[in-house]
Amino acid sequence: MIAATQLRLVLVTPEKTLLDVPVKSLQFPLFDGQIGVLPGRTPMVGRLGIGALQVVSESGSQTYFIDGGFAQIKGSIVTLLTNKALPLDQIDAAAAEKDLAKAMAVLPKTDSEFSEKELEIERARKQIGMRRWMN
């Protein structure tokens, strides 16, 4: 059996397909931790987390903020279906700071409101952290 030497990343949001490109490797968050993917990876399906998608291709490295969804690896194709994907340079740190303050001010009354508050806090903190990491 010949080992795969390249992957193809398909990054899809509800609005459009953002990327459909060959890549050397990927790292992205799952709901329960980080995963790295190299050519020849066994098939899998997983739930995406919130955080940084790092893409290494022939032209260099790119980083995106992704916001949940699902991942599928089948053969050499890695498909990420996410609610939101932003290139690192498009993350607005000031807006994320405001979102964090707004989420922190919420006083949840139910379990679902508490879960939503935690999710909003996580989103804002990850975006703030990623922007700081870039600078």
pLDDT for the residue numbered 134: 64
4 pLDDT band, cuts 50/70/90, is low
Answer whether 65's CB lies under 8 Å from 51's CB: yes
* Residue 78 in this model has a pLDDT that exceeds 90: yes
Q: Which two tokens stand for residue 65?
A: 């903020």
- For the chain, the straight-line distance linking the first and the last C-alpha, in angstroms and rounded, comes to 44
